Structure 1
Amino acid sequence: MTIEIDDEQAIAPVRQRKNIHIDMDAMRPVEQRDNPGLRGKPVAVGGSRERGVVTAASYEARKFGVRSATPSVTAKRQCPDLIFVKPRFAVYKAISQQIREIFAEHTPIVEPLSLDEAYLDVFHECIIRSRPAQPSSQAPIPRRP
């Protein structure tokens, strides 16, 4: 995804920037969405082998100290009932693209950090929305309820 900054944004003081950080924590919810039997259970996305690591952990697993980047052996020791799910990066990538399309509806300046995390610069959007309406000879556009 390309990041473009127009002249108005390039000269705006940093203190006026309006940035939003979004972390969807998407891998684990996707697995629980696609396999409802995993809901409410300690789940880790990642490799379950001796040299594997946890990519994402459910809130139920986090209660036991299982986090992203926890070695799988350690995670299983911390949470004996932990269910490992093999990562499906093609699915996560497709969902990431859908999420980025939603971001693009709100700002052209998106800085992706990972498949499910990004910074959005909404400074320009805030200026546009805060400007008073310009007089127009056209009838007003009805707003959605």
Structure 2
Amino acid sequence: MNERKIIHIDMDAFYASVEQRDNPELRGRPVAVGHAERRGVVAAASYEARRYGVRSAMSSQKAKRICPELIFVNGRMDVYKSVSQSIHDIFHEYTDIIEPISLDEAFLDVTVNKPGIELGVDIAREIKRKIRERLNLVASAGVSYNKFLAKIASDYRKPDGLCTIHPSQALDFIAKLPIEDFWGVGPVTAGKMHSMGIH
């Protein structure tokens, strides 16, 4: 049987990128999707905002403190859902075995794929190209033989990343990763692991 070929596609700064795409005045500027008022929270941040340390789930007040130039825009969930559907239409050109994680990321099993392309990395490259050409948005992709490694691979070279972790490289690749880069390990879990000497 063929080695499984799993692709993880992750849209780069999805909500903020859609807003920058649709409003030229926002391009190249630090943008946060969310509400600027005192109790507001950042739902998504552009890469320009992330350079200042702005992150999703951060309070709007803190975000404005660390990035005074930050521009807040209200989210348009109906638009994001529509764009997400267009992205999934591209996925379906290659496989119907799709596991969405959220509007902006999904796993694709392309072990057996509709065009009959041999290498998963070639499919990932085509999907990234079609998303850019048709939707004017940027995605990162990771390719491996299971979901855990494909997810780690897609995060490895963001934004606009493409990374493959081959079976022969997997153990060495993981051995060099800090534990906080593992999928599902957040700051609290990482802290506990560090206290146990796991880094």
Deviation string, structure 1 residues 41-97 (Cα, Å, up to 9, x no partner): 110011212222111111111111001111111111110110000000000000011
The alignment-based identity, stated in percent, is: 61
Q: TM-score, normalised by structure 2?
A: 0.55
1:111 maps to 2:62 = no
Provide the rounded CA distance (Å) in 2 between the counterparts of 1:101 and 1:123. 19
Structure 2 unaligned residues grouped into runs of 5+: 119-199
Give, in whole Å, the separation in 2 of the partners of 1:17 and 1:70: 38
In structure 1, runs of 5+ residues without a counterpart are 1-11, 131-145
Q: Of 111, 121, 138, which residue of structure 2 is paired with 1:123? A: 111
Task: Please point out which of 65, 69, 72 is paired with 1:81.
Answer: 69
Taking CA–CA contacts closer than 8 Å with sequence separation of 6 or more, which of the two structures ends up with the larger relative contact order?
Answer: 1
1:20 aligns with 2:7: yes
What secondary structure sits across from 1:84 in the alignment?
strand
TM-score by length of 1: 0.74
Tell me the equivalent position of 2:87. 99
Q: What is the identity, as a one-letter code, of the residue corresponding to 1:33?
A: R
Runs of 4+ deviating beyond 4 Å? none
What root-mean-square deviation, in Å, do the aligned CA atoms of Structure 1 and Structure 2 show?
Answer: 1.9
Q: Deviations over 1:103-142 (max 9, x none)?
A: 011111111111111111111129x444xxxxxxxxxxxx
Q: Distance in 1 between matches of 2:55 and 2:21?
A: 20
Cross-structure match for 2:143? none
